[in-house]
Chain A
Amino acid sequence: MATILTDTGEMTVAATDGLWLSADDAETATGWTLKPEGMCQADLCVPLPAAATRDGRIDVAAFWQLLGHPVVHDAASETWVLGAGADQRNDALAGLLAPDFTLPDLIGVPHTLSALRGKKVFLSTWASW
Chain B
Amino acid sequence: MFDSLNAKNFMIVAVAEESRGAEHARPWIEQANATYWNLIDEDHRVADLYGMVNVPQAVWIDEAGRIVRPPETAGSTDHFRLMDRTTRTLAPEHQAARQDARTAYLDAVRDWVLTGSYALPMDAARRRLPSITPEVAQAQAHFRLGVWLRRHGNAAEGDAHLAEASRLHPDSWNIWRQAADLDEVGKASGEAFWQRVQALGDRPYYPPPDLAR
Which of A's residues lie within 8 Å of B, judged by CB? 5, 69-75, 79, 81, 83-86, 89-90, 92-94, 96-99, 101, 103-106, 108, 111, 113-114, 116-129
Contact = CB atoms under 8 A, between A and B. Distances in A.
A31 B3 CA distance: 42
B129 interface: yes
A98 B60 CA distance: 9
Interface stretch (B64-72, B79-87, B91-99, B202-210): B64-72
Given A83-B140, A86-B137, A125 B57 contact: yes
Given A70-B138, A128-B27, 17 more contacts: A70-B140, A73-B145, A93-B50, A93-B70, A96-B125, A105-B38, A114-B65, A120-B62, A121-B11, A121-B61, A122-B11, A123-B61, A127-B16, A127-B55, A127-B174, A128-B20, A129-B181
Contacts of B126: 94, 96
Contact-residue bracket for chain B? 35 or more
A122 B173 CA distance: 21
Interface string B123-137: 001100111111011
Nearest to B28: A128
18 contacts: A83-B138, A83-B141, A86-B136, A90-B132, A93-B129, A98-B61, A98-B65, A99-B50, A103-B39, A103-B40, A104-B40, A116-B11, A120-B11, A120-B62, A123-B60, A125-B57, A129-B185, A129-B188
Interface of B: 8-18, 20, 22, 24-30, 37-41, 45-52, 55-67, 70, 74, 109, 112-113, 122, 125-126, 129-134, 136-138, 140-142, 144-145, 148-149, 152, 154, 157, 161, 174, 177-178, 180-181, 185, 188-189
A119 B12 contact: no
A123 B13 contact: yes
Given A126-B14, A126-B56, A127-B18, A106 B138 contact: no
A interface, over-half SS: mixed
Given A92-B49, A94-B126, A128 B62 contact: no
Nearest to B114: A120
Given A104-B40, A120-B10, A123-B46, A5 B145 contact: yes
